[in-house]
Structure 1
């Protein structure tokens, strides 16, 4: 059974989340502050964490940093903070998703299920070296892409960008992280590079580049690969 750690200091919201999660056969632990969250995470090894940022003893970003020292468990931030800067900061700190309050319980549960499915599917092996979608096939080992039976040529930078997204398949990757991994530490603010290269990848891979199914933009936050 999937175990979820809810980190939230609002008792009513904790109660609603616990009831809804248990009704869908999740095991649930709850923490009302950052210190308790880190202690429980170390003891119970949850399969996913729902993390509020406004905790009474420490900022949720600090909790996220502490978790990422030793675990890659999916962390979904659930916060009233709405600015792009705050969302980007959480994603750069290692969050897998960001949900703003107030939220639809159905949407939150769907995102939680998606995050835990991705983790369960992320088993290393030969199969993970090939990505197949309805539109194209990517052989990561051979660095080859085929679309409709034909080879697609990608530049080294396009390859690097695509590989980072696939390595985080289904997970939103922040703009700063992408820029630093692909272009280097000095390029953390050059978001125009991402727009240009993502447009190029969509033209080469997507059947309808103006309505992409696989190379998805989260405006002001980052990008993710679905497929």
Structure 2
């Protein structure tokens, strides 16, 4: 069982995308699909998948550019798919941030095995899946235990506050819109007061910032939303 990890498939050849999706779903993964680079970036930012399977030769925006965009905002694992077989192409793919590189034609079964291996390695080595701290342990988060400490003292967060904080720290430097944070904290179907996110942010700052009027962790990006700045 894949523990319902979310996989984004970026492939413009429909038959290949369908085959990959079928094998992944059969292995217990949740999937999303994009057939061009522009949609890939949009879906990535909305869904925040656990891993991306990325074809290099895409319409609108190339796979290389999509990978660079992902790397600017997150450490989400990327497996590149390509018909390019030259060693220089493989090296370039890895240099711009891919975690693995598979040439076409390939076995969907092998691809799923590589997905599982990369996710397993990520969960073992990536601090986002265990404990993180900032500023000499001024702020500490234990991802597995779902606990937060400020200056060594346990902080009680609501589920919505915790989900917002977790999204921000997983993508340091990336700006989230209010709409994105509403989807993360309350679900995409929420149709209420859109400024509720501001209330959650205010409460979060009061709990994790030394001076909530001059925050160092959760920063406002005027006219857009919020980002994690530590």
Query: What residue is the counterpart of 1:148 in the other structure?
Result: none
Q: 2:26 aligns with which of 10, 23, 27?
A: 23
1:51 aligns with 2:54: yes
What is the CA–CA distance in structure 2 between the aligned matches of 1:60 and 1:124, rounded to whole Å? 27
> Can you list the C-alpha shifts for 1:14-59, whole angstroms capped at 9, x where unaligned?
1111111111110000000011001111011100000000001122
Query: What residue is the counterpart of 2:96 in the other structure?
Result: 93
Query: What residue is the counterpart of 2:122 in the other structure?
Result: 119
Query: What residue is the counterpart of 1:137 in the other structure?
Result: none
Check conservation: 2:23, 2:109, Cα contact below 8 A.
no
What is the CA–CA distance in structure 1 between the aligned matches of 2:54 and 2:46, rounded to whole Å? 17
**How high is the TM-score relative to the length of structure 1?**
0.54
Q: How many residues align?
A: 127
Name the SS of the counterpart of 1:69 in structure 2.
Answer: helix
What is the CA–CA distance in structure 2 between the aligned matches of 1:59 and 1:43, rounded to whole Å? 19
Q: 2:11 aligns with which of 8, 11, 21?
A: 8
Q: CA deviation at 1:123?
A: 4.5
Q: In the TM superposition, what are the counterparts of 1:1-227 in structure 2 within 5 Å?
A: 1-124=4-127
Name the SS of the counterpart of 2:101 in structure 1.
Answer: strand
Check conservation: 2:37, 2:61, Cα contact below 8 A.
yes
Structure 1 stretches of 4+ moved >4 Å? none
What is the CA–CA distance in structure 1 between the aligned matches of 2:35 and 2:21, rounded to whole Å? 13
Check conservation: 2:78, 2:100, Cα contact below 8 A.
yes
What is the CA–CA distance in structure 1 between the aligned matches of 2:120 and 2:76, rounded to whole Å? 12
Check conservation: 2:79, 2:100, Cα contact below 8 A.
yes
5+ long unaligned stretches in structure 1:
129-227
Name the SS of the counterpart of 1:20 in structure 2.
Answer: helix
What is the CA–CA distance in structure 1 between the aligned matches of 2:54 and 2:126, rounded to whole Å? 25
What is the CA–CA distance in structure 1 between the aligned matches of 2:72 and 2:126, rounded to whole Å? 21
CA RMSD in angstroms, aligned pairs only: 1.7
